[in-house]
């Protein structure tokens, strides 16, 4: 067991006498942590970790022992940013033996990354002969030393600020995930690149606590102002802006738990800044280990708040104006931060750790900012002011593009804006093919902030309102009144356009915080309507909320993941029972089902007698038809919607539904793809529901299509059988000038 206060006061004394050499620091840490060895490795250009100081290993290894990031325990610690606590390091599979260090006698090892502003600067480690696990307080102590060391190293220039050294002017291309389509070309602004050095150790915890309280107050007031400003900051789409996301954020902001943790760290002898940084680091580590996307979002919110608190502690410096077309580069970005940057006029954002379902992505879509995520190493390769291109349509990030590439993208961005302006003219026109077939193009939405898209695109209604999305954004299922308010807002906004509400489709990849699935195949597990039928109170509450929201207006409700007619009947019975209780009754009540599970195809006679409409969920249908996980990118190309089995299924469905006059629509991603939409329309599916970004271009495309001419072509292509039918369909569409 160690004496942390003692270690801290000795470190404080050391700092008081000016910059302490690393050699003194390692001696002190080794003696205070009762370890035979303490070593500091510093990261050098080219991802090399160099032994810079040691107590207990051979001194002539200093400057000679070098490991690549990822090599050995120390390299692994630097690469993953994780603390390594090993009783028997030499038998760890990653152990890399370096004879010049003389480390054979030492069994146990504790290695802690030295990080600053999300960048790894090095590693500090301690070793002992006796095999043992280091205790939590010991880990805490070494983490405090690592923070101190981070400030020392970044101040001394011991690490090269330009991670790529001489290579830093070379263009680089990163593959990225598109979070919101579009192109941005401009200079890079690095998030928090210029965070000033902080003091780590404090003499007076009470004073630090007061500073923390004041800063937390300032931060809360700043957030209130920021959120209150949202309607004035943005355009129509922002006006309802992201209410659910921001509400979720507000809940996290008012959660006292993490602030208490910061206070505890302050009591341990750290400054308020260092304590906030420590807690942010802990949150970051927890985030790495959690796979549940929504829980990760909550933690990301907390990390964002920790950064705000840090800013509030350092006194809010006035913000310099952004250069024209600036692109923000961040490791992570919280929703409030994105609002800040949007207000400052950012033209595009690239976020290393972001997923399409994350809060930043949801907001980027609402704010219409081109955004990409998920490209590792990008931030470490970029410098403030470097030129960059975000091509969120193709999922690319180009750092320091050649002049010609820069010009080409500038032209592409201008052409895109011009095309958008042109497409806007389609807003008020109906979707009709060249041979006069009328189509209904509807929207898939899930958050009220997306509702202005109805007016912006001139869509015919909402073909899929995913009710679970708002619940996921707020982190829990809302009560009846709150749900009714959400659904009523949707109906208000839609006016006399139809809305198809889908009941909660939770489970699989859509888990509420705190719920974990231990099933082997959650996509085929206890999810969606299965949960609703087993927990009828939950489903009933939602159905009541929908009926209350309708308040006498027309209401359409559909159920997801229906596998048997019996399930559909049971769900419909719950709805009808609720409908008998709620007054005023809806004008009309239409009850439909999603078709996502192939088994329904063999129950069509009964289903078509009992369902008022069927909406094909092609995302899940494709996954279950081909037994191919929709979340596994390597399988995306392997099975095609445009294939004989899928098209035969669609045809059988359309033919079976015709005598019953049951409308069939399709609301999966396939609806938004030109070739798929073309084929569906040719096969008689005239209602397609898709994300807002597809509507205008789809109207423009259909205006050029002669479906009567395409039908015999399609029939001939389908006779060809085989796997995918995409190529011959694309060839015909290209010949007609329908697609590029």
Among 38, 77, 284, 359, the active-site one is 359
**667 in catalytic set:** yes
Is residue 592 near ligand PEP by the rule CB under 6 A? no
Which one, of 618, 629, 176, 116, lies nearest residue 364 by Cα?
176
Q: How many CB atoms lie within 10 A of CB 61?
A: 18
Q: Cβ atoms within 10 A of the Cβ of 600, count? A: 23
CB closer to ligand PEP, 352 vs 620: 620
> In this complex, which beta carbon is closest to ligand PEP, that of residue 124 or of residue 459?
459
- Contact with ligand PEP (CB under 6 A): which of 23, 619, 697, 724? 619
Piece of 17-25, 221-229, 581-589, 611-619 that binds ligand PEP (CB under 6 A): 611-619
Residue nearest to Mg ion (CB): 620
**How does strand 371-373 pair with strand 348-351?**
parallel
Stretch that binds ligand PEP, among 19-27, 129-137, 174-182, 614-622 (CB under 6 A): 614-622
Here the tokens at position 705 are: 């299509």
User: 3-state DSSP call for residue 121?
Assistant: strand
CB of 620 to ligand PEP, least distance (A): 3
**What's the CA gap between 149 and 120, in Å, rounded?**
12
Minimum Å gap between C-beta 176 and ligand PEP is 22
CB of 618 to ligand PEP, least distance (A): 5
Least distance to Mg ion, CB of residue 619, Å: 5
**The entry of Mg ion, ligand PEP, none that residue 466 binds, CB within 5 to 8 Å by partner kind:** ligand PEP
CB closer to ligand PEP out of 48 and 538: 538
522 phi and psi angles, rounded to 5 deg: -60, -30
Q: Which residue has the tokens 């026109």?
A: 429
- Nearest approach in angstroms of CB 175 to ligand PEP is 24
Distance of CA 415 to the CA centre of its chain: 29
The answer to the question of residue 618 lying near ligand PEP (CB under 6 A) is: yes
Q: Which residues bind Mg ion (CB under 5 A)?
A: 596, 617, 620
Question: Which residue lies nearer to Mg ion by CB, 600 or 696?
Answer: 600
Nearer to ligand PEP, 284 or 466 (CB): 466
Give me the least distance between CB of 464 and ligand PEP, in Å please.
6
Residue from 620, 646, 696, 698 touching ligand PEP (CB under 6 A): that is 620
What residues contact 214, with CB distance under 8 A and at least 6 apart? none
**Between 386 and 620, CB nearer to Mg ion:** 620
Q: How far apart are CA 357 and CA 179, in angstroms?
A: 8
Residue number with CB closer to ligand PEP (174 or 624): 624
The values of phi and psi at residue 529, to 5°, are -65, -25
The residues that bridge with 440 in the sheet, in sequence order, are: 687
Contact 53, 25 (CB under 8 A): yes
Q: How far is CA 177 from the centre of its chain?
A: 10
Helix 707-719 and helix 674-682, axial crossing angle in degrees, nearest 10: 100
Whose Cβ is closer to ligand PEP: residue 188's or residue 447's?
447
What's CA 690's distance to the chain center, in Å? 20
**571 interface partner picked from ligand PEP, Mg ion, none, CB below 5 to 8 A per type:** none
Give the nearest distance from C-beta 619 to ligand PEP in angstroms: 3
With contacts defined by CB under 6 A, name the span among 54-62, 359-367, 612-620, 710-718 that binds ligand PEP: 612-620
Contact call for residue 450 and ligand PEP (CB under 6 A):
no
Rule CB under 6 A: choose which of 115, 308, 400, 466 binds ligand PEP: 466
Q: Shortest approach of ligand PEP to residue 511 CB, angstroms?
A: 13
Q: What dihedral do alpha carbons 55, 58, 64, 65 form, nearest 10°? A: -70
* Contacting residues for 106 by C-beta, under 8 A, at least 6 apart: 36, 37, 56, 89, 127, 128, 129
Give the number of residues in contact with ligand PEP, rule: CB under 6 A: 10
> Which is catalytic among the residues 77, 284, 342, 667?
667
Pick from ligand PEP, Mg ion, none: which does 618 bind, CB < 5 to 8 A by kind? ligand PEP
Q: At what angle do helices 293-313 and 256-267 cross, to 10 degrees?
A: 50
Burial of 569 (0-12, 13-18, 19+ CB in 10 A): middle
Q: What is the DSSP letter of 517?
A: -
Burial label, 637 (beta-carbon count in 10 A; 0-12, 13-18, 19+):
exposed
Contacts of 11 (CB under 8 A, 6+ apart): 25, 28, 144, 145, 148, 201
- Contact positions with ligand PEP (CB under 6 A) in 487-546: 505
Residue 667 binds what, of ligand PEP, Mg ion, none (CB under 5 to 8 Å, by partner type)?
A: ligand PEP
Given 450, 596, 640, 676, the residue binding ligand PEP (CB under 6 A) = 596
Task: Give min distance, CB of 293 to Mg ion, in A.
Answer: 16
Q: Which two tokens stand for residue 161?
A: 């600020």
172 binds, among ligand PEP, Mg ion, none (CB under 5 to 8 A by kind): none
Identify the CA nearest to 596 among candidates 613, 567, 619, 626.
Answer: 619
Query: Measured from the CB atom, is 248 or 685 closer to Mg ion?
Result: 685
Rounded CA separation 68/48 (Å): 5
Q: Could you give the string, one character per residue 647-686, with x where binding to ligand PEP holds by CB under 6 A and - elsewhere? A: --------------------xx------------------
Give the footprint of ligand PEP on this chain (CB under 6 A).
Answer: 464, 466, 505, 596, 617-620, 667-668
Active site residues: 359, 667
């Amino acid at each position: 067991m160690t004496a942390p206060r003692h270690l801290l006061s000795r470190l404080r004394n050391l700092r008081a006498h000016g910059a302490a050499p690393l050699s003194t620091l390692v001696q002190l840490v080794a003696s205070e942590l009762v370890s035979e060895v303490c070593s500091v490795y510093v990261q050098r250009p080219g991802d090399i970790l160099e032994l810079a100081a040691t107590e207990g290993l051979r001194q002539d290894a200093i400057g000679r022992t070098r490991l690549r990031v990822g090599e050995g325990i120390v390299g692994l610690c630097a690469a993953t940013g994780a603390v390594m606590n090993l009783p028997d390091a030499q038998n760890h599979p990653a152990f890399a033996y370096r004879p010049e260090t003389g480390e054979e006698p030492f069994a146990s090892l504790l290695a802690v990354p030295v990080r600053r502003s999300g960048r790894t600067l090095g590693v500090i480690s301690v070793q002992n002969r006796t095999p043992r696990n280091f205790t939590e307080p010991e880990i805490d102590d070494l983490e405090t030393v690592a923070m101190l060391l981070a400030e020392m190293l970044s101040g001394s220039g011991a690490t090269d600020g330009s991670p790529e050294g001489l290579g830093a002017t070379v263009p680089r291309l990163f593959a990225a995930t598109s979070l919101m389509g579009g192109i941005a070309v401009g200079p890079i602004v690095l998030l928090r690149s210029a965070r000033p050095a902080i003091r780590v150790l404090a003499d007076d915890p009470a004073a630090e606590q007061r500073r923390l309280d004041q800063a937390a107050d300032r931060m809360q007031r700043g957030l209130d102002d920021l959120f209150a400003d949202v309607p004035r900051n943005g355009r129509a789409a922002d006006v309802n802006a992201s209410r659910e996301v921001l509400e979720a954020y507000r809940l996290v902001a008012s959660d006292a738990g993490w602030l208490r943790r910061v206070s505890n760290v302050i009591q341990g002898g750290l400054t308020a800044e260092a304590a906030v940084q420590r807690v942010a680091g802990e949150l970051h580590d927890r985030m790495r280990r959690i796979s549940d996307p929504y829980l990760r979002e909550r933690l990301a919110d907390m990390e964002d708040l920790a950064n705000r608190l840090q800013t509030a502690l350092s006194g809010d410096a006035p913000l310099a104006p952004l250069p024209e077309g600036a692109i923000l580069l961040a490791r992570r970005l919280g929703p409030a931060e994105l609002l800040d940057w949007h207000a400052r006029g950012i033209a595009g954002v690239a976020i290393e750790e972001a997923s399409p379902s994350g809060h930043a992505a949801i907001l980027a879509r609402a704010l219409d900012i081109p955004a990409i995520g998920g490209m590792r190493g990008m931030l470490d390769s970029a410098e403030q002011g470097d030129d960059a291109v975000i091509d969120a349509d193709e999922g690319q990030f180009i750092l320091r593009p050649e002049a010609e590439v820069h010009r080409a993208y500038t032209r592409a961005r201008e052409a895109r804006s011009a095309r958008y302006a042109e497409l806007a003219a389609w807003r008020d026109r109906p979707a009709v093919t060249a041979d006069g077939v009328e189509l209904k193009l509807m929207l898939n939405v899930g958050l009220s902030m997306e509702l202005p898209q109805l007016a912006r695109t001139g869509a015919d209604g909402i073909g899929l309102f995913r009710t679970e999305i708002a619940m996921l954004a707020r982190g829990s299922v809302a009560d009846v009144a709150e749900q009714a308010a959400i659904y009523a807002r949707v109906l208000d906004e839609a006016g006399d356009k139809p809305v198809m509400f889908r009941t909660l489709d939770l489970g699989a990849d859509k888990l509420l915080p705190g719920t974990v699935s231990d099933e082997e195949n959650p996509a085929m597990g206890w999810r969606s309507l299965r949960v609703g039928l087993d927990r009828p109170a939950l489903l009933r509450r939602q159905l009541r909320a929908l009926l209350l929201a309708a308040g006498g207006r027309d209401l359409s409700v559909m159920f997801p993941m229906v596998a048997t007619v019996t399930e559909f009947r049971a769900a419909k019975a719950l709805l009808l029972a609720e409908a008998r209780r709620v007054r005023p009754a809806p004008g009309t009540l239409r009850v439909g089902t999603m078709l996502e599970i192939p088994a329904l195809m063999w129950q069509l006679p009964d289903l078509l007698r009992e369902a008022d409409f069927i909406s094909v969920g092609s995302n899940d249908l494709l996954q279950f038809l081909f037994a191919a996980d929709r979340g596994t990118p390597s399988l995306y190309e392997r099975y095609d919607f445009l294939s004989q089995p899928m098209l035969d299924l669609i045809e059988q469905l359309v033919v079976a539904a015709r005598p019953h006059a049951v409308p069939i629509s399709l609301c999966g991603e396939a609806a938004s793809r030109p070739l798929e939409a073309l084929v569906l329309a040719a096969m008689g599916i005239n209602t397609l529901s898709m994300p807002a970004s597809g509507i205008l271009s789809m109207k423009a495309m259909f205006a050029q299509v002669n479906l009567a001419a395409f039908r015999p072509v399609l029939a001939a292509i389908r006779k060809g059988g085989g796997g995918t039918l995409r190529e011959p369909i694309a060839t015909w569409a290209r010949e007609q000038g329908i697609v590029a």
